Amino acid sequence: MFIGGGWRQTAARLPVEDPATGRVLCEVADASPDDGLDALAAAADAQGDWARTPARERSDLLMRAYRLLLEETDRLALIMTLEMGKPLAEARGEISYAAEFFRWFAEEAVRLDGGYMPAPGGGSRFLITRQPVGPSLLITPWNFPLAMGTRKIGPALAAGCTCVVKPAEQTPLSMLALADVLVRAGLPAGVVNVVTTSDPAAVITPMIMDERSRKLSFTGSTAVGKILLEQCARTVMRTSMELGGNAPFVVFEDADLDEAVEGLLAAKMRNIGQTCTAANRILVQRNVIDDFARRLTERMAALPMGRGTEPDAVVGPLIDSDAVTKVTDLVADAKQRGATVLLGGEADGRPGNFYPATVLTGVPDEAAMCHTEIFGPVAALTAFDTEAEAVERANDTPYGLIGYVYTESLRRGLRVSEALETGLVGLNQGVISNPAAPFGGVKESGLGREGGFTGIDEFLETKYIGVKV
């Protein structure tokens, strides 16, 4: 673990497994609740000095970390691939993506503004300033073990907040490597602390209940997010939540089908389908669904499966055996309800947590995979007839993170994009995440936004000072 500017080991150890083989790569510290509170104490002790640090100095630190991440792309990508499974090419892409959050928020750190105006009734002036929220708890997921860290740490540091980071127990190595990068960039002691644990609830709960914690930023499942929101309510803690998704991918009859297939591959197969933005329900207009399914099947059949370190691998392993079981059960349920398998459909028995690229068509709305994140390389196709039907079915979910629309009609594209009950829409584009754009969902997909001009607002309080004249 990394607490108060130093590395700490524990008697208890947390094994880190290679999902491609199931073998243990190494062991890291397994924190206790007391370790978590020590990390929070370090963050609280450092908060005052860090908040008073000039914005330019905070910006310069983030820029140094940005450059170090890019310089060490290959080393960090290998660490990520070994602990998480994604192919090396994707891991390198994540390092670049992660670094951009540091660069973006380095630029935002020096642009925090306020306001000044005369009172409408005269006699005083309104002075508006913004100040850091304070010590922040940042909980990151395993599917983007570095980028989800920089997306939270970047704005926290830029705003003047110290933090405690709890990475997913499956992928602690990337976050520990990031802590090392920040130290070499000049990070003061206690400003960022990293706590690794096999028992997140036991370690996080005392920190949430502690009044020194003033902000929680969480990326993970909706079920866990709801529990955390209940806990945060006890101290009225600021929260931002990036939760689950059930993304519709709508293809209209006038779409460029080749472009739509490529967009779907990006939206579905990125990270082996293990993303909250993955296309989950693929709705294709009836008179083109057979053609679309044929083209998609041809492309997915050509994707090599293998360990992420293999040079040609595109479909890597899922994160663990439970993930394989979940995907297997979802596909079996869809088949039992009448879906047709065009490609894949069952694990091939090789060692490791592999599941092949799979295409299903005729997936009925009652299928379990239409109501839960598949989190695997499974494309589930269903036909629709009218625009109104497509919108209704796309919105028929408690989730609302992202939706995708493919059409050559500008009018239809705008109509449907505005009608989708999601925080994000990809219009003729399969990947839209960008550090310069706000990311977040509506309904049960979350609260707040990360990235863009609004991302730093999550770590700032607005203060009004009335001045008598």
Q: Which residues are catalytic?
A: 242
Q: What is the 3-state secondary structure (H, E, C) of the chain?
A: CEECCEECCCCCEEEEECCCCCCEEEEEECCCHHHHHHHHHHHHHHHHHHHHCCHHHHHHHHHHHHHHHHHCHHHHHHHHHHHHCCCHHHHHHHHHHHHHHHHHHHHHHCCCCCEEEECCCCCEEEEEEEEECCCEEEECCCCCCCHHHHHHHHHHHHHCCCEEEECCCCCHHHHHHHHHHHHHCCCCCCCEEECCCCCHHHHHHHHHHCCCCCEEEEECCHHHHHHHHHHHHCCCCEEEEECCCCEEEEECCCCCHHHHHHHHHHHHHHHHHCCCCCEEEEEEEHHHHHHHHHHHHHHHHCCCECCCCCCCCCECCCCCHHHHHHHHHHHHHHHHCCCEEEECCCCCCCCCCCCCCEEEECCCCCCHHHCCCCCCCEEEEEEECCHHHHHHHHCCCCEECEEEEECCCHHHHHHHHHHCCCCEEEECCCCCCCCCCCECCEECCEECCECCCCHHHHHEEEEEEEEEC
CB 445 within 8 A of CB 243: yes
